[in-house]
Amino acid sequence: MPDTLRERWRKSPPEGEIPNSKRLKFLTIVCIGLILTGLLVDSPMTILRGLWKIQTSRANLLTDYVALGSPGAAFANSGLTTLLSLFVIWRSKVKISGPVMASVFAVAGFAFFGKNIYNSIPIILGVFLYSQLAGIPFRNVVLSATFGTCLGPAVSQITFAYGFPLYISIPAGYLLGIFIGVIMQPLASRFVSFHNGFCLYNIGFTSGIIGMFVASFMRMFGLQVETVRILSYGNNTFMGLTLLVFFSYLFLFGYWFNDKSMKNYSELLRNSGQSVTDFISLYGYGISLVNMAFVGMISTVFVLLLGAHINGPIIGAIMMVTGFGAFGKHPKNILPIIFGIYLASLLNIYDPLATGSVISAIFGTALAPVAGQYGMFAGVLAGFAHMSIVMNIGYLHGGMNLYNNGFSAGFVAGAFVPVIDVWTNEIRGKIRERIIKSETHRG
Amino acid sequence: MRELLKARHIADELIGYFLRHGICDIKLQLKLCEIDTRVIVEGVCLEKVKDLDKAVRLMNLERRPEIEEEYENLLGSSIGDNALGLLGSMVDKATYRYEGNKLILEVVRYN
């Protein structure tokens, strides 16, 4: 069929919608803003030196690029890596929808602790190769390419951790990255059934399984894969302010794009958020930006109120959650999860102020659809369970899967949802029976 | 083969929608052509489905190719109407009509 005819048949975007070129421009400005923020805090030379350290690091959890390079280098790395993702998105001609927005923010966030240009490229190439092998357009799998870079540390690990000569370690790392990219999409489309869309980080869950295989194979041949702890401290004023200013701008832009109103927001808050919930196509681009700003602000204020240190991983977590404000998360469905995880961190053996605990509380909102669908109590329970799993699961992939919380949330959702489902259906059934009985009695 | 699987998932979701709304006498028609895939589901319903307009509006959301490869397996697995937006991102057109006490829902996916 001729392309023009096919295009004419396709549904056209609703009237008054923000054009895709504007959306892309907005995200490009965010990337440039990140690079400029870097230049504001460090000299170009310090940034270049820091960027070199970042590209050549092992990059697995938790490697805070603020501590490893410098604050400026971490911001620049985030801006540059996100620009790479935006280039891929632009080339694939895909529209900036909710999931695409979430993937862009995920890259921006994780480029503060684990993602970089060096370790992202092979995975993107791998997904592209898969699309060619499977005979499907690249735009159909672009989300696997952008989200999938969470296994970047596997590439960095092979290249830089074992002291192999670079002429061996670079091709070996890249081959592994390409292989991961090739298998990412088919596995992701299968694993989504396990948690039924109740874990918003499906690629995180998939990557956890892939990372587990990779780490096990490496360990089998004597290559140790361990988590690390390189963290920065004492940047709360600068980081907190930067985030709050950014979210204020996000809110203002969103409000302006939404005809200077909050229309559709009450509807958005009623959505359970279960995958696939694209807030941008359901409620509009502007109000989705507003929601992203709220979700980001809540996470930032939560960290500041706790008194935890805002470092690379925490910025990453906040950015990721912000992105998912366009793809399933909103204040109503994330707060019960955060509360459940915080409650667990108060009662368990882990320090509630430790970076690991704080990022678990923020990333754990991957389980937001549980609270959205089954209510606050179920959300708190799911959050509580998430804390127990996430603290024990990192060993399986040795910190090579940056979306460790997605891996954990996948298991929690997969185990919780069928049980809650049966339970709530049973209760609903009994209530319905009672209503019918009382109506018959009255009649 | 891919289109076959997608058609099956779409049909699954539509049948799920009918069943969730108490329509149990269902006929399914599946047409796979070179230019498009059509799934037509008809069922006997004694009273009009309340949220049908909203459901069809969701099915008419803009098509999103980047979503379908990863999430198509969710179609037909949901207990509620959460996957109708996903269905909308995979099809180009959704229409419905009543013929007597029969509801006929048709979705088209251009290849």
Q: What is the pLDDT of residue A3?
A: 46
Chain segment B39-59, per-residue pLDDT in tens: 999 999 888 888 899 999 999
Confidence at residue A16, expressed as pLDDT on a 0 to 100 scale: 65
How many of the other CB atoms lie within 10 Å of CB of A136?
A: 16
CA of A96 to nearest chain B CA: how many angstroms apart?
A: 10
Rounded to an integer, the average pLDDT of B77-93 is: 84
Q: Is A100 on the interface with B (CB under 8 A)?
A: yes
pLDDT for residue A4: 44
In the predicted model, residues of chain A with pLDDT beneath 70 are 1-16, 426, 428-432, 435-443
Q: Which two tokens stand for residue A214?
A: 């990779």
| CA gap A52, A49 in Å, rounded | 5
- Whether the link from the prior residue into A214 is cis, omega within 30° of 0, is no
A–B CB contacts, 8 A cutoff, strictly below: 108
Exposure string for A402-434, b = 16+ CB within 10 A, e = fewer: bbbbbbbbbbbbbebbeebeeeeeeeeeeeeee
Confidence (pLDDT) at B48: 85
On whether any CB of chain B is under 8 Å from the CB of A132, the answer is: no
Q: What domains are there in chain B, each with its CATH number? A: 2-110 (3.30.565)
pLDDT at B22: 86
Determine the pLDDT at residue A240. Answer: 92
Local structure of B107: helix, strand or coil: strand
Q: How far is CA A150 from CA A7, A155, B73, in A?
A: 34, 10, 23
Total residues found in chain B within this entry: 111
pLDDT of residue A14: 57
Nearest chain B residue to A6 by CA distance is B110
Unique residue bearing structure tokens 């895709």 = A20
**Distance (Å, whole) CA B74 – CA B52:** 21
Helix spans in chain B (H): 2-20, 52-59, 65-71, 84-90
Residues 159-188 on A with a CB inside 8 Å of B are 185, 188
Partner residue facing B74 (CB), from A137, A192, A373: A192
Average pLDDT over chain B reads 89
* This prediction's pTM: 0.92
Kindly report the nearest CA distance between residue A290 and chain B, in angstroms: 21
For the stretch A98-124, pLDDT in tens is 999 999 999 999 999 999 999 999 999
Contact predicate A279/A317, CB 8 Å: no
Instruction: Please provide residue B104's backbone torsions phi and psi, each rounded to the nearest 5 degrees.
Output: -120, 120
Q: List pLDDT tens digits, range A270-294.
A: 999 988 899 998 999 999 999 999 9
